[in-house]
Amino acid sequence: MMPPINMSIAVLSSESEITQSTLYSWRKHAKNQGLAVLGDGKNAEQWSSSNKFAVVIETASLNGAELAKYCRKKDKKRIKQLEVELRRKERALAETAALLVLRKTANAIWGEDEDE
C-alpha cells in the first residue's frame, strides 16, 4: 500500500491473506509516523494534498540519483515482501500436498473410502 505501488487494502488483503483490519491498523500506525501511506489504489494524481506533501517532504532533500535510489529501495522492499509471501505460500502448498498424499496412503493401508 506504499508508494509507488499504492495497492488498495482490499487487493493487498486478498493477495497476502492478511486481514483488512490488520492492514488498516498498520496504515494508521505508519500515517501517525508521518509516512505517505495511501492503500486506496489511487495513483499520484488522485492523492490528497497532505499525502503528496508527505512524499515531497520525504524526498525533498534528495538529488536525482538519490531519488532514483529511493524509488528502487521502495521497489526492492516491495519485491522482498512479495518473495517472502511467495515462499510462505509455497511451503503451505507443499505441506498441504504432503498431507493429501499421507491421507491417501493411510486410506489405502486401512482400506477406507476417500469419500468419507
Residue 115 pLDDT > 70, yes or no? no
Listed in sequence order, the residues at least 6 apart from 28 whose beta carbon sits closer than 8 Å to its beta carbon are none
Residue 40 pLDDT > 80, yes or no? no
Cα(98)–Cα(89) distance, integer angstroms: 14
pLDDT tens, position by position, 2-12: 666 667 788 88
pLDDT tens, position by position, 57-104: 878 888 888 888 877 887 787 788 889 999 999 999 999 999 999 999
Residue 32 pLDDT > 80, yes or no? no
Quickly list H helices, the chain: 9-16, 20-32, 49-59, 64-110
Written as nine digits, the cell of 55 is 512524499
For 45, list phi and psi in degrees, rounded to 5: -70, -20
pLDDT reported for residue 19:
87
